[in-house]
Structure 1
Amino acid sequence: MPHPFENLADLALSIELLKTAIDIQQKIAICGDYDAHGMASTAILLRTLRWLNVPVDYAIPSRISEGYGINQRIVEEFYREGVKLILTVNNGTSAFEPLARARQLGMKVIIIDYHEIPAKLAPADAILNSKLISESSPYRVLAGVGVVTVLAISLVQQLGKTQGLVKSLLELFTLGILTDIDNPPPLIGINLLWMERGLQQLPESKLVGIQALIQMRGLSNKREALSVEDVRFHLVKSIEAVGSISDPQIVIELLTTDNNELALERAMQCEQVNQRCEVLCKEIEHEAVAWVRESQINLQPELVLVIVKPNWHHGVFKIVAPRLVERYGVPTFIGTYEDENWIRGYGLGISGFHVFKALQSCQDLLGKFGGHKIAGGFSMPAENLKAFQKSLNQFAYNCL
């Protein structure tokens, strides 16, 4: 592997910003994300900075009331708490207004992300986004958790304090890289190398939270490396459930605590939430299948399935949508009414159907939307539902 400084343009600058903050004991804050990928990434940075005895805090936006990414409320809260340096994790590249406000308030900003590059980058002192790395670079495959890990390891190497930390970071990296249900990072190159190391280390992990989760999921008797399936369908599944319908702080505390009792308590909470999440998913899937059957929708002329029903929990759409796509074989958009006038939803595509471009094609009908080739989220006025469905089908006719 070439040195990451040669491949990540702002990595050296990011290290200098962090070293300056550490030297003068400035408060640092992390804005993470509520999915398992984002929570593992946040835990990596928290563990690293606490290892270096840096005053650090974090915030994760509410999935229910705020949605994805850093926002104005979080920026203002950081400012009131005396934060001098903000690190966004798995978000921030397109958060123009909140980060412009942060800079206006005199805070420095490092964006750590892997999402698509918008036409207008958010203002920041440094941007570490794998989409900005040359396509010929072995670091191009990094997801957000990988970019965070490169930054964390580079920082402790620069400070000569790697001993006893790096193994734990690779274990957290492994939890992060095996998430992203709708847009899994490619398990090749550095992703594969670090994941294989993490799988080997997990059974004997020194992180009490990981050990508690392993115990709770019945994997304690495994002394050899855990498999990808063990991690994805046991450990990560519990973590993802918390991010979907509960408080991400449960997971952050699980992955960053060194207290055995707290770790076991948080692992039990993860398992309880996971069971509740599975019940929710089955209920929504059952209702969606019943709706398709009762409406007698013909999925030959209707190339896209759009289902919107009241009283569904949008936090589990990311889990339910793949089941419906597998059942019906068409791009599927599911949503619920936040109130009688507004819909919030999630779409998952199939080969040949680019979800983000599909949403762009009907953006005049939408409020907020975002995503990538495979999946995306959206909101819209309820009165636009029929026009939205017609527009998606027109898009599908042109590409499928």
Structure 2
Amino acid sequence: MPTAVLPQLWQLPRPAGRNPLSGVALPIALRAVLARRGTETVESAEAWIQPPDLPPADGHFPDLKIALARLVIACEQQERVAICGDYDADGMTSTALLIRALQALQAQPIAAIPSRMDDGYGLNSRMVEELHADGVNLLVTVDNGVAAAEALCTARALGVEVIITDHHTIPDPPPQVLALVHPATTPEHSPYRGLAGVGLAFVLARCLAEALNQPDAITSARDLFCIGTIADMAPLTGANRVWLQEGLRSLHRTKCAGLKALQQLSGLEERPLRADDIGFQIAPRINAVGRLGEPRLVVDLLTEDNADTAVQLARQCDGLNRQRRELCDAIEAEATALVEADAQPLPPFLLLAQGHWHHGVIGIVAARLMDHYQRPAALLAAEGNGLMRASVRAPEGFAVDQALHACAKHLERFGGHPAAGGFTVKPERVAALHEQLNDVAAEWMTSRHQGVVLQPEALLRFDQIDRGLWSSLQKLEPFGIGNPTPLFWARDCEVIDQRQLRGGHLRLRLRQGETLHDGIAWRWKGGASTPERIDLAFRLSLNRWQGEERLQLEIQAIRAHHPTIVLQRHGQEYQCEQVKPGTIVLANASGQKLVIDYRDDGLHQCDDNRASHPYVAALIEEAAIGLGLQP
């Protein structure tokens, strides 16, 4: 029997006023989204839509000038420079970005990326020794290095200079290197605070090209920045937002043969790309290489100038991505079977171990289990040295890093951040580890009220959904971490048709008033039957099929529609109903009622003086949102 997941609890948005951010040239639903995200003035809204120019980077990174001075010497003397990156999309694009830039600036860069399977994460002493023996006296790390204490010690002993560009947590004490270019070293409210590894590589390359007065040396740098930043799920605010807005407009015309080949294999047309195109089409093909193959393949692809060779390399990435999908599906099916076979109820923390699972993809499957069962999940696979290696994923609110720190006595190594992490453990310690993780997760689940809170940001009527709205929505892009795609909701929609699609997707034909729209629910877990009249939460997307473009609703949640809604406030319940257009009836638990004539001009009429009391007035505004009278 399939295990039931936690119910979804709808939390409708707080009142934003009946005409929020009046004067901003956006539809009211989008203005309501901005207002609820903390935008308070027309000026700040316009600055978000069209950000101001960035301040000079060298005034924000204390060691940037030191790094640039050393790299200028390396370029002028045509010196060999090792670019030491990570094996994920951020690290591989960072490596390719600096190699392309340094080659054009006359240095002799070489790539040095560890193998996920053979080396594990980060710079290590063996790599430093081999690079030094090969005549390298300058290392530039990208997306790693800040915590590689042993390797950095080896570099100092050998007289190898190191420039670290990294965005992971700086240890205490910080590393002793020639220069540390890190977002945490910038001022507190710096626009550079959210840069991923590829953003730091872009800063370094851009400033170096300016210092040498060769701006043409970095013609593809911003394109690679776009790929790595979105793939690494960096916050799309500050400098990331500025450069992505600029870069996405021209990315489809990239001069990088490797990126062009990836776009062609991904079926992306000759049009400006969106963040979703990168996140769902290009980034997986890059990340698959780091998970299953040798990262050098991606660096070779992204630094290749010959179009035919680039296509061949891109096909290898595509093949690994297909293999990655097949592995993920197989492991997910096996893991789900293990979960469902266990005694009920489910443990608060899912921990599953199979020696034959591929640890390059277990993080993806852990995320799928987390999403389906709505609880933290860890998958363990054999590391090959008598240890098990795990990837952990957790819903919002559960701190993976804190949980692993609490269980440190059971672990050989561990690390991560609140949403994800990893660890290695001896097989004989797994049972005790799971017991303690269950205790941590049980306390967290108790605080969740046994439900997943769904928070739509604005009401959107079907008759408001058109290409004009879509064009306005694009002004708020790019969407991602720190600037999520708005979640809208619609009230009282009639289901005209529904059908189950291959892959577990659900397609609906919906009508609200006189307006029809199509909706799609990906990997739908809500059952085969949908009520005839529903409220739905959705995101808006553009479906491209056989040369046609149509707006569609990407459905996130469905609930049966009820004309009467219940408000809960300070332990009290109030029933609300719209008895006729613009007329709200508000009733308390004692059956006392207020009848309110609700008007769009910001006023309302009621014969009862209690309606003017601040507490009751706030209730009326909340009722208006719940009944679909406010965005």
Q: Same fold (TM over 0.5)?
A: yes
Q: Partner residue of 1:314?
A: 359
Contact 2:132 2:158 survives alignment (8 Å)? yes
Distance 1:167 1:161 in 2: 10
What is the CA-CA distance between 1:341 and the residue it aligns to?
A: 3.3
Please tell me whether the aligned partners of residues 115 and 131 of structure 1 are also in contact (alpha carbons under 8 angstroms). Answer: no
Aligned to 1:7: 60
How far residue 223 of structure 1 moved from its aligned partner, in angstroms, is: 2.7
CA contact (8 A) 1:167 1:198 kept: no
Name whichever of 56-65 and 192-201 sits farther off: 192-201
Decide which of 338, 342, 345 is 1:291's aligned counterpart: 338
1:36 counterpart residue number: 89
Residue 252 of structure 2 corresponds to residue 203 of structure 1: yes
Matched, 1:363 2:408: yes
CA distance in 1, matches of 2:163, 2:93: 18
Q: Find the aligned partners of 2:383 and 2:192 in 1 and give their Cα distance.
A: 40
Please say if residues 332 and 347 of structure 1, whose CA atoms lie closer than 8 Å, have aligned partners that are also in contact: yes
For residues 269 and 107 of structure 1, do their structure 2 counterparts lie closer, same or farther at Cα, with a shift above 3 Å needed? same
Aligned to 2:24: none
Match of 2:374 among 311, 318, 329: 329
Question: By percentage of residues, which structure has more helix?
Answer: 1
Q: Does 1:372 align with 2:425?
A: no
C-alpha contact (below 8 Å) 2:371/2:395 kept by paired residues: no
CA contact (8 A) 1:97 1:122 kept: no
Q: Which stretch shifts more, 67-76 or 134-143?
A: 134-143
Q: What's the secondary structure of 1:123's corresponding residue?
A: coil
- Counterpart of 2:160 in structure 1 is 107
CA distance in 2, matches of 1:379, 1:11: 36
Are the equivalent residues in 2 in contact too, given 1:212–1:267 (CA < 8 A)?
A: yes
Q: Secondary structure at the match of 1:247?
A: coil
Residues 93-132 of structure 1 aligned to structure 2 (within 5 Å): 93-132=146-185
| 1:353 corresponds to which of 398, 418, 423 | 398
The SS at the match of 1:94 is coil
Cα shift readout 1:80-100 (whole Å, capped 9, x = no counterpart):
101010011100111111111
The structural deviation recorded for 1:224 is 2.4
Name the SS of the counterpart of 1:138 in structure 2: coil
Shift of 1:318: 2.5
1:172 maps onto 2:224 in alignment? yes
Aligned partner of 1:239 among 283, 286, 301: 286
SS in structure 2 at match of 1:178: helix
What TM-score comes out, normalization by structure 1 length? 0.95
CA distance in 2: counterparts of 1:107 and 1:78, whole angstroms: 9
For residues 142 and 403 of structure 2, the distance between their equivalents in structure 1, rounded to whole angstroms, comes to: 27
For the Cα contact (< 8 Å) 2:220–2:254, is it kept in 1? Answer: yes
2:437 to 384, 387, 392: 392
Counterpart of 1:104 in structure 2: which amino acid? A
Q: Distance in 2 between matches of 1:149 and 1:41?
A: 8
Alignment-mate amino acid for residue 137 of structure 1: S
**Range with greater deviation from structure 2 (100-109 or 14-23):** 14-23
1:238, distance to aligned residue in structure 2 (A): 0.6
Query: What is the aligned-residue RMSD (CA, Å)?
Result: 1.4
C-alpha separation in 1, matches of 2:395 and 2:169: 19
Query: In the alignment, which residue of structure 1 is the partner of 2:46?
Result: none
CA offset digits 1:226-254 (Å, max 9, x no partner): 12111111111111111111111111111
Distance in 2, matches of 1:297 and 1:124, equals: 53
**Which letter does structure 1 place at the counterpart of 2:105?**
L
Give the match's secondary structure for 1:57: strand
Give the match for residue 262 of structure 2: 213
Report the Cα offset of residue 2 of structure 1: 1.5
Q: Is the 8 A contact 1:100 1:122 kept in 2?
A: no
CA deviations 1:50-102 (Å, max 9, x no partner) are 11121111111110122110001101111110101001110011111111110
C-alpha deviation, 1:23, in angstroms:
2.6
The sequence identity of aligned pairs, in percent, is 40
Q: What letter matches 1:3 in structure 2?
A: P
Among 321, 335, 349, the alignment partner of 1:274 is 321
Which residue of 1 is the match for residue 30 of structure 2? none
2:69 — aligned with what? 16
Judge conservation of contact 1:116–1:372 (CA < 8 Å) in 2.
no
CA separation of 1:87 and 1:387: change in aligned 2, threshold 3 A: same
* More moved, 61-70 vs 19-28: 19-28
TM superposition shift of 1:360: 1.2
Q: 1:81 aligns with which of 134, 157, 179?
A: 134
**What is the identity, as a one-letter code, of the residue corresponding to 1:173?**
F
Give the CA deviation at 1:339: 4.2
Which residues of 2 match residues 250-261 of structure 1 at below 5 A? 250-261=297-308
The secondary structure found in structure 2 opposite 1:100 is helix
Is the contact made by 2:231 and 2:278 (CA closer than 8 Å) also made in structure 1? Answer: no
Any gaps of 5 or more consecutive residues in structure 2?
Answer: 1-53, 446-631
C-alpha displacement of 1:332: 0.8
Paired residues in the alignment total 392
Larger Rg computed on CA atoms = 2
Tell me if structure 1 keeps the 8 A contact 2:122–2:145: yes
User: What's the TM-score once normalised by structure 2's chain length?
Assistant: 0.61
Q: Is the 8 A contact 2:352 2:378 kept in 1?
A: yes
Report deviation, 1:311.
Answer: 0.3
Contact 2:289 2:297 survives alignment (8 Å): yes
Residue aligning to 1:158: 211
Q: Do 1:71 and 1:95's aligned partners in 2 also have CA atoms closer than 8 Å?
A: yes
| 1:138 and 2:194 aligned | no
Contact 1:284/1:312 (<8 A) preserved? yes
- 2:272 is paired with a residue whose SS is coil
**Dislocated runs of 4+, deviation >6 Å:** none
Q: Which amino acid aligns with 2:220?
A: S
Shift, 1:21, TM fit? 2.2
Shift of 1:398: 4.5
**Distance apart, 1:137 and its partner CA:** 0.9
- TM-superposed CA distance for 1:399, in Å, is 4.2
Q: What is the CA–CA distance in structure 2 between the aligned matches of 1:118 and 1:399, rounded to whole Å?
A: 28
Shift of 1:340: 8.1
Q: Deviation per CA, 1:311-333, whole angstroms, max 9, x where unpaired? A: 00000122222211110000111
State how far apart, in whole Å, the 1-side matches of 2:143 and 2:302 are: 17
Pick the aligned partner of 1:223 from 262, 270, 290: 270
